[in-house]
Amino acid sequence: MSAIVSVGGRLAATLERWNGRPTLFAVVVMNAITGVSLGATIAAANFGADSGLYRHCALLLVEGQTEFCGFLYSPLTSLVARPLTWMSPTMAMAAMTMIGVGVLVVGVALETRGQAAIDRVLVASAALTFAPVVHELLIGQTTLLIAATLYCMARRPDGFRNGIPFGIALAFAPKPLLLPVMVWMLVWRRQALTATLLTALLLTGVGIALLGLDQYRDWVSVLTGAGNASLAGSLSLWERGNFSIWPLNPATFVLACAVAGVTLWVIVRDSSRGFVAALLAGLLLAPYSQLYAFSILVLAVKPALGFAPRATRALALIANLAGPFLGVLTA
């Protein structure tokens, strides 16, 4: 243990001496090597895995199917995903990937305003080759879209309108990893939380009016079934690439309680630290957190640099080193 601490200390000290562009360039090189390798490993089995499902469910709705499609997103998602049915399956998958790329690039542009052009390009390159982002973009997931709805609320003072985008996201994808973020909102963004809940309820009502109560009842059953599968232990790290603490047993239950307690303590004490802690806790405490879910941590980088710059740079440098191992689990 002392050897690990010593190595970590030397790495942090080195990053402190080579602060700025050299460290950023090192992160880009590391991520490019490992991120591209990961993408090449998992592309064949993962490309369009989720975006293809959105299109399939939307197509069933277009064809008149009144039963719920059976995925973990709300029934309203099938209606909103209808434009994907206007193109071929491959084009639909590529479209979802490009939407994710666009969201990330816009986010980087906002986060790096005022910096030199070369630094902004380096940050974008590092973000695009971050292993969870690579996985997210390949399968066409929605984590980056959810992160985008959190952006204004997290970066601006509390305001009612800042919570509306997040409420839209919750109406379509109420993922368990977002619960700690809502606890953070209860402490630091109460007006935004009110808007979030009202917006989610309003859109849910619209969905029920358009698609029927039965579809939403079936959706709740699917969500419950997924939770039961996690409790039963069928979604372990080794079997399905689940990187959360679940399934719970006596040891992991104690660990989960410790994570929840520390997270709540940090949230109450400080807004920036609490937001970062909420994102991490959501990933660890959700019944199921696959690799792509960690792409939401792109939101944590800027606030983390504010209160823990050395540790954040060190983590950024080594975050992708587990790429080959993660590739085996997600393939």
Please tell me whether the overall predicted TM-score, pTM, comes out greater than 0.85 for this model. Answer: yes
pLDDT tens-digit readout, 243-260: 888 877 888 899 999 999
Q: What would the mean pLDDT of 118-127 be, rounded to a whole number?
A: 94
Q: Which of 25-34, 40-49, 163-172 has the highest mean pLDDT?
A: 163-172
Q: What sections of the chain are H helices per DSSP?
A: 2-17, 21-46, 51-62, 76-80, 89-111, 117-128, 131-139, 143-155, 164-172, 179-188, 190-211, 213-232, 237-240, 250-269, 271-285, 301-307, 309-318, 323-330
- pLDDT of amino acid 145: 96
- CA angle, 51 as apex, 90 and 196 as ends, to 5°? 150
Give residue 20's pLDDT band: very low, low, confident or very high (50, 70, 90).
Answer: confident
Give residue 10's pLDDT band: very low, low, confident or very high (50, 70, 90).
Answer: low
> Is residue 298 within 8 Å of 109, Cβ to Cβ?
no
Give residue 9's pLDDT band: very low, low, confident or very high (50, 70, 90).
Answer: low
- pLDDT of amino acid 229: 53
Q: What would the mean pLDDT of 134-144 be, rounded to a whole number?
A: 93
- pLDDT of amino acid 223: 81
pLDDT tens-digit readout, 158-201: 999 999 999 999 999 999 999 999 999 999 999 999 999 999 99
Name the token pair of 265: 């303590």
Give dist(CA 31, CA 39) in Å, integer.
Answer: 11
Give dist(CA 313, CA 310) in Å, integer.
Answer: 5
